[in-house]
Amino acid sequence: MKLYNGTSPNGMRVMVFLAEKNLDIPTTQIDVMGGDTKTAAFLARNSLGEVPVLELDDGQIITESLAICRYFEVLHPAPSLMGRSAAEQANIEMWTRRMEQQLFSTVGSIGLHEMPFFAQKLEQSPDYAASLRRALPKKLEWLDKEISDGRPFIAGEEFSIADITGMAALMVCGFLNIALPNNVAHVKKWADSVMQRPSMPQMPG
């Protein structure tokens, strides 16, 4: 088994997930900004030219960070990061998707539409990026209200992939020099607490 991974928000999600599971997977580092995801050899593994990519011993390719996490969750269910019972799994998947839809995809799209590096990947719209920057504070305020019940983690009493996804979004904020608004104290408390975990990389900026 080999993991092809690089410095990217999705790459970070898988790295933190594996660290929380205490799994050491042979990894080939891919220089994303240097263009290594655009080589013929890489595109043969993932036609979308994105990390992370997991190659199993039988040659099966798994792309998409959450799909890679799912693979390891099923094979190594403890500690649980995606839930045990049906209700737990659904709750964590709901919160993971909320973190993705409300935060991660918002800040990710800001990066995609602002950073010169992505000009070859898509038709950039600076106006759209600006509208997302205006929309982001309300989304953070929504999350702040949702977690104002004092629970320690996004999906409840246990750390989960929802927290990892939320932290990936905040790391993109740091990378894009987007400061958290002043009125999201619960979000800040949660982020400060989660950042203490040994699995977490250093926050950029």
With the C-alpha atoms ordered 190, 166, 177, 135, is the resulting torsion angle positive or negative? Answer: negative
Nearest to 1 by CA among 52, 56, 53: 56
Interface with a copy of itself (CB under 8 A), residue from 28, 29, 39, 60: 60
145 is a contact residue toward a copy of itself (CB under 8 A): yes
Q: Output the CA angle 111-168-53, nearest 5 degrees.
A: 85
d(CA 182, CA 25): 39
**Least distance from C-beta 203 to a copy of itself, angstroms?**
26
- Three-state SS string over 162-181 comes to HHHHHHHHHHHHHHCCCCCC
User: Are residues 165 and 104 in contact, defined by beta-carbon separation less than 8 angstroms?
Assistant: yes
131 is a contact residue toward a copy of itself (CB under 8 A): yes
Interface with a copy of itself (CB under 8 A), residue from 41, 87, 116, 149: 87
Q: Which range touches a copy of itself (CB under 8 A), out of 33-41, 70-78, 175-183, 191-199?
A: 70-78
Residues binding a copy of itself (CB under 8 A): 47-48, 54, 56, 60, 62-64, 66-68, 70-72, 74-75, 85-87, 89-91, 93-94, 97-98, 101-102, 105, 122-123, 125, 127-128, 131, 134-135, 142, 145-146
